[in-house]
Structure 1
Amino acid sequence: MNKPERVTEGVYIIGGPQITDERDCCVYLVDGGTELALVDAGLGYSTRAILENIEKLGLDNSLLKYVIVTHGHIDHIGGLHYFRERGAQVVCHELERNAVSGENPKLTAAWYYRVNYRHVPVDRLLNGEMQDVVVGNTVLHCLHTPGHTPGGISPYLDVRGTRILFGQDIHGPFDPSWGSNMELWRDSMRKLINLNADILCEGHFGIYKPAEKVRNYIEYYLDYHS
């Protein structure tokens, strides 16, 4: 397994297939100085390793304030209960609440991984096209990007002129049982392209940079699913 590593100033990759467990999504950490936030929580079997990886980076995991849920699939939310028990607030779009809170377990796709999901309450619901989450001295802009699921979000932040985009599951897959909508997905991908991000922190395949590679990655899947 690889070690956690710095993506750019204030952004780290601390979990994922090559770092914690092959079933985990890529788990990212945003360092806002006085507060920390995770972007997604993995499947749930690597939670202690994720916390340890924060410490390995020289950061204080007691500063973890938020887990930002990009969407409600089990490989992204399975660890929520662990981090919430340790004081982190769960943040997701209102259209993903039924998955995260356990009201509609089918939306988690836990059946696909043959694991059980320990549901949690949502501490902060996002709604509309865009809402910001302030993490210490950093602002995460949470853009609603439906398509893969109804309430998917793609957070991004700007650090010293560099735009970092957390674009989880750009590639799919898509299934009507969890609310996929290809027309909405294509619109969302165009939104992401228009952000002109310099770095893409993708949900399963890691880091893409510079901006040309980010654009090419998104456009590839737009063409693939056309």
Structure 2
Amino acid sequence: MIDTGAGLVMIDTGYPFMGDQILESMREVGLDPADLRILLHSHGHYDHIGNTMRFKALTGARTYISRIDNEICNGTVDLSWATELGYPRLAPFDCDVLFDDGAVVELGNTRIECRLAPGYTQGTLAVFIHTFHKGRPVTCAMHGGVGVNSMTRRFLSWYGLSTDCREAFREGLHRLAGEQVDLVLGNHHDQNDTEGKLARVRAGESCFDTGEWRRFLAEREAILDAMLQEEARQERGND
């Protein structure tokens, strides 16, 4: 959640069953859901778009996603992960604004640059949030999809997808590593030590770390390599 001074930006809307909890959590930290202006999606998986239409109807916020992953939202392609997660598919919808690489969203004191970072999905976005902290400019970044579960040979084969997504993912990690970032935001809470950062903030310490972004991307490449090595080992075992 980003408070821009001119309204709120929510990045991803969670599972449908989380809707009430999300709204109540906003209120608990002093944010009014009525101030939501933008619902920005990192990618089109079920657990990231599950409350989009509900929150849009509630607040009038405009919805944003990459042009490519909008095809997941509107059901053109069946890659939402609803089936894999054990849930019924969402009713199809189109987002209001469809992004191509390099699109920028501005609201209040915040400028959000959206970069295509394919691999996890073809239309995954990495977002660079240029804003202010205690009067000084800072850049926060979130890679919108770093899991390898949608790049396994089994998953790709099941859906008739190319393994080219793996190298596209790797190339994206290398390209994005050139960005200067002050704070890393995780697309899932376990990707960026969310609880540890909160504890540091509560202790009066800084959660900024200009080296974390590159370390994080390198760690994700290592996870990709480990998956590829394990698949190769299994294939050798089947020979």
* TM superposition score normalised by structure 2: 0.76
2:170 counterpart residue number = 186
**Deviations, residues 41-71 of structure 1 (Å, cap 9, x unaligned):** 1111111221222222212221101111111
Q: How far has the Cα of 1:169 moved from its partner?
A: 2.7
Establish whether residue 63 from structure 1 lines up as the match of residue 41 from structure 2.
Answer: no
Larger proportion of helix: 2
Matches within 5 A, 1:121-160: 121-127=94-100, 129-159=101-131, 160=136
Structure having greater relative contact order (Cα 8 Å, sep ≥ 6): 1
Structure 1 CA distance, aligned partners of 2:166 and 2:10? 28
Structure 2 CA distance, aligned partners of 1:154 and 1:125? 15
**8 Å Cα contact 1:108-1:178 kept in structure 2:** no
User: Among residues 88, 109, 133, which one is paired with 2:61 in the alignment?
Assistant: 88
Q: Which shifted more, 74-83 or 205-214?
A: 205-214
Give % identity: 22
Q: How far has the Cα of 1:98 moved from its partner?
A: 1.1
Structure 1 CA distance, aligned partners of 2:115 and 2:166? 18
Matches within 5 A, 1:1-226: 29-86=1-58, 87-104=60-77, 106-116=78-88, 117-127=90-100, 129-159=101-131, 160-173=136-149, 174=151, 175-176=155-156, 177=159, 181-204=165-188, 205-207=190-192, 210-226=209-225
Residue 148 of structure 1 aligns with an amino acid whose one-letter code is Y
1:12 counterpart residue number = none
Gaps of 5+ in 1: 1-28
Residue 224 of structure 1 aligns with an amino acid whose one-letter code is I
**8 Å Cα contact 1:100-1:120 kept in structure 2:** yes
Q: 1:171 and 1:108, CA in 2 relative to 1: closer, same or farther beyond 3 A? A: closer
**Deviations, residues 198-221 of structure 1 (Å, cap 9, x unaligned):** 211111215355122332121022
Following superposition, which runs of at least 4 residues in structure 1 exceed 4 angstroms of deviation? none
**8 Å Cα contact 1:81-1:118 kept in structure 2:** no
Q: Which shifted more, 145-154 or 56-65?
A: 56-65
* TM superposition score normalised by structure 1: 0.80
Structure 1 CA distance, aligned partners of 2:148 and 2:224? 9
Q: How far has the Cα of 1:182 moved from its partner?
A: 0.7
Gaps of 5+ in 2: 194-207, 226-239
